[in-house]
Amino acid sequence: MRASDRAYRSLLDEIQSGVLRPGAVLAEVEQSVRLGVSRTPLREALGRLAADGLVVQASPRMTVVSDLDADDIRELFEVRRALEETAARLAVRSGATPPFAALATEFAATDAAADPDAYYALIARFDDALDLAVANDYLTAALKTVRTHLVRVRRLARDNPERLAASVAEHRLIASAIGAGDAELAAHATHVHLHNALAAILASLEGTP
């Protein structure tokens, strides 16, 4: 793996996991030493993170992790809703629906509160199946960008067992609808899921000291 790729992956994981929180300063010299790379690959990594919208340039030699406030999350979900509802409809119209019936069965057997990591891994497989069924490179590229930010947002719901359980049921319904070939139900179930997810995340933010 190239040094710039290694630095990018390390910083991306730390931003998405919350180790590097919004507002954290990524000073060039300090990060080069910490990550064990020279400044050129570090700058390449920071440039990629800036393109992702995860960092902003505060000065020529200092980068800061971007904020993630309620307005940012609302805007993210506006885009996410448009993309994912469209993707649900296209997945049905493509005819590539068999994998979704199996995924619905897996969602039904999932206890997200007991093992959130396994649940998010299942969501990742659902997303992969959706991308494959949609077969639209422009749409999947836009979804990839949204998902990069969504990893940060999802952390806000990990400590809410009731929301996690509801999310499992919502994903099961989406997968079942796609598997059954019902495009409108799939899109509507996606809309309801995203509405509930956004409401829960915003409520979590309001309760944060």
CATH number, position 112: 1.20.120.530
Same domain for 74 and 53: no
Domains in the chain, number: 2
User: Can you give the pTM of this predicted structure?
Assistant: 0.83
Task: Output the tens digit of pLDDT for each of the chain's 209 residues.
Answer: 789 999 999 999 999 888 998 889 998 889 999 999 998 999 999 999 999 889 998 877 779 999 888 999 999 999 999 999 999 999 999 998 889 999 999 999 999 988 988 998 999 999 999 999 999 999 999 999 999 998 888 776 667 888 999 999 999 999 999 999 999 999 999 999 999 999 999 988 876 54
Does one domain contain both 16 and 102? Answer: no
For position 147, what pLDDT does the model report? 93
Structural domain range at position 156: 70-207
Could you tell me if 123 and 102 lie in one domain?
Answer: yes
**Does residue 194 share a domain with residue 99?**
yes
What is the per-residue pLDDT for 124? Answer: 94
46, 65, 84: which is the final residue of a domain?
65
Exposed e or buried b per residue across 35-67, where buried means at least 16 C-beta atoms within 10 angstroms of its C-beta: bebeeebbbbbbebbeebebbeeeeeeebbbbe
- For residues 174 and 108, membership in a common domain is answered with yes
Question: Which of 17, 47, 65 is the endpoint of a domain?
Answer: 65
Q: For residues 77 and 148, state if they share a domain.
A: yes
